[in-house]
Amino acid sequence: MKRRNSLLLITCITLIAICSSSYYVRSSDNSWITGTFKVVMFTSPDSSYQVIVNCINEAQHDIKIELYSFTNPYLMDCLINAIQRGVHVTLILEKKHFTWSENEYTLYIAYRLNMSGAAVYFASHVEYPLLHAKFMIIDFEIVVVESANWVKSGVPVDPSYGNREWGIVIYSREVASRFTEIFNYDLSIATPYSPSQGVGEEPSRSIPTGSYEHPFTSVETTCQMKVLPFFSPEDSESVLKYVLRKANESIYIEQPYIELSWDNRLNPLVAELQKAVERGVDVKVILGVRNSMNEETFGYLQGIGVDVVYMNLTSIRFLHNKGIIIDSKIVVVTSVNWSDEGVRENREAGVVIVSKNVATFYESVFKYDWKISKGEPIEEKNFDLTVKCIARGTNSPIEKCLVKLLKDGQILSEKVTNGEGLAVFYNLSMGMYSIEVYYLNYMVASEQVQLDKDIIVEVTCEVYLLTVRVVYENETPVSGFAISIKDQYGNTLCTVETDESGEILLMLPAGEYIIVVGNYTSQIYLCENTVKEYVLHLESEYAGEHEGTSLIEEKMREYAPLVLLLSIAVAVYILIRRR
């Protein structure tokens, strides 16, 4: 009896452990990742192919890919090259597609990659009915998230042809870890591919071309941001609702289609748009194609006050993007369609990024699509860009900042800010620009800006106010006292005399500094507005830091051996004279 109870207890504990483990793996960690990350922002048709090829070529050890459809033979070639140089490649693909050709071409690429040494799997349909995610993990520290399948129209070799898609590359080990967790779970329930399942049909190697002018190059930036990975079926609905509820000024959306009713109820995401309109938010939606589903949604959105258009497909083949921009500072890049299945059932993946720099890029693409869809001309006139540099510590303007203006990674011009912290660049063409700001040879800020009108950009720089005060012991200010500021390597940056109040005030970039007051030195790390006070002893020309040892005491210790020797010499001399 005891043995039977023991076995029953062990069985129960094992089942609980298995269930708990399974649940943990499938539930994405719904918490923000904050830090300074490098990202590469890109779109299709403009630059997606080159960005993805660069990422594959960058891989040193490992590539993990989870995709709905893979039919582009040129991306297959890149993966085979990676395998041949020793990179371990694992893919999870969807086996069920809407067309026979997609099934056959994906099967062929699975076969070729498998024969080349890749580990290829087909997604399980036990946990979710369809694998619709599109992401890649490189060397456990780089993640590519897209709306695009790896097909000729999604990631086109020639940028004059293809779908409108968004994608982003994020260099973050922690973000990669979240995606790896989901990938590993999906891999654990996937079915390994073998040639016995079929070898498919080889896709054509023709490269389609079109009339799209591809004005958007990829943009790389490194900046502070918050990142939230999310996944269907785990948490897409809650995350998307949260994002829409954060809107105070604007919501811009691109979706190929939106299902108005889910289970005979209003689509909860559409309900959030209605609430946003009611609180005064500017809501704009671009839909993909005119069909009965979108016609119903189009009419409803118009009726609740949403500004909605159909995508102009004259030069863009198809709107396949599923992106969102909130208040020009939050962006969503994802594979999630606004359908019941996409949000609640399929395997999907996406990221929410809070960063004005990042959102600016995608907003410029949205505004371009909005203009061509509304039939508004894309103006070719030139514009002026005014950059105002202010200190984070005081919000005061910074004079003598070096401002560099870049486009496509090339420096176009350099200007130095005036006494009002302004640098003006004239007669610039419309497009995306990068701004880099340097102060005392340190980069203190970087921004992305889309130029489609004359604008003033206020750039907050990592510059703070250092106040050094020198007083006598009786708290009388010491004026005209020379104070030197050195960098962490001991190089003198400036020497300034105290004013009538015994102070010097300096704007300095964040970092380590050495303050030299007479022969006294102290080190500080400047990361906020800082005041340092030094006390000058009445009988001394040297100053001591208020909290530290006075320099007169240090000098006494320094010359003590010499004083002792002199004293001994005097004593010896006196003894000799007495004799």
Looking at residue 437, which CATH number applies to its domain? 2.60.40.10
Tens of pLDDT, residues 148-178: 999 999 999 999 999 999 999 999 999 999 9
Domain count along the chain: 3
Q: Is residue 497 part of a domain?
A: yes
197-230 burial by CB neighbour count: b if 16+ within 10 A, else e? eeebeebeeeeeebebebebbbbebebebebbbb
Question: Which of 374, 403, 432 delimits the end of a domain?
Answer: 374
Between 510 and 324, name the one with better pLDDT.
Answer: 324
DSSP 296-342: HHHHHHHHTT-EEEE--TTTSS-B----EEETTTEEEEES--BSHHH
Residues 445 and 469 both lie in one domain: no
CA dist 174 and 137 (Å) reads 12
**What confidence score (pLDDT) does residue 539 get?**
52
Q: Is residue 568 part of a domain?
A: no
Q: Is residue 3 part of a domain?
A: no
* Contact call for residues 134 and 148 (beta carbons, < 8 A): yes
- Reduced to 3 states (helix: H, G, I; strand: E, B; else coil), residue 86 is coil
CA neighbours within 13 Å on the CB side: how many for 49?
Answer: 23
Residues 365 and 477 both lie in one domain: no
Residues 236 and 191 both lie in one domain: yes
β-strand 431-439 against 503-509: which pairing, if any? unpaired
Residues 327 and 389 both lie in one domain: no
**What confidence score (pLDDT) does residue 3 get?**
46
Residues 274 and 400 both lie in one domain: no
CA dist 416 and 402 (Å) reads 5
Residues 38 and 173 both lie in one domain: yes
Residues 286 and 389 both lie in one domain: no
> Quick one: average pLDDT of 382-399?
90
Indicate whether 18 pLDDT > 60. Answer: no
Name the residue range of residue 548's domain. Answer: 463-557
Indicate whether 552 pLDDT > 90. Answer: no
pTM to 2 decimal places: 0.72
Length of the chain, in residues: 579
Residues 281 and 340 both lie in one domain: yes
Indicate whether 30 pLDDT > 50. Answer: yes
Q: Is residue 543 part of a domain?
A: yes
CA dist 381 and 453 (Å) reads 9
CA dist 427 and 280 (Å) reads 35
Residues 214 and 230 both lie in one domain: yes
CA dist 43 and 132 (Å) reads 19
Tens of pLDDT, residues 494-516: 899 999 988 998 889 988 999 99
Exposed/middle/buried for residue 1 (C-beta within 10 Å: 0-12, 13-18, 19+):
exposed
Q: What is the mean pLDDT of the chain?
A: 89
Residues 406 and 497 both lie in one domain: no
**What confidence score (pLDDT) does residue 542 get?**
52
Q: Is residue 282 part of a domain?
A: yes
**What confidence score (pLDDT) does residue 25 get?**
41
Tens of pLDDT, residues 278-323: 999 999 999 998 999 999 999 999 999 999 999 999 999 999 999 9
Residues 427 and 484 both lie in one domain: no
> Quick one: average pLDDT of 75-101?
97
Locate tokens 């994608």: which residue? 167
406-428 burial by CB neighbour count: b if 16+ within 10 A, else e? bbeeeeeeeeebeeebbbebeeb
Write the Ramachandran bin of 395: left for phi over 0, alpha for psi from -120 to 50, otherwise beta: left
> Quick one: average pLDDT of 204-216?
94
Return the minimum-mean-pLDDT range out of 10-19, 215-224, 326-335, 392-401: 10-19
CA dist 512 and 426 (Å) reads 36
The residue among 99, 92, 90, 89 whose CA lies nearest residue 122 is 92
pLDDT classification of 579: cutoffs 50, 70, 90: low
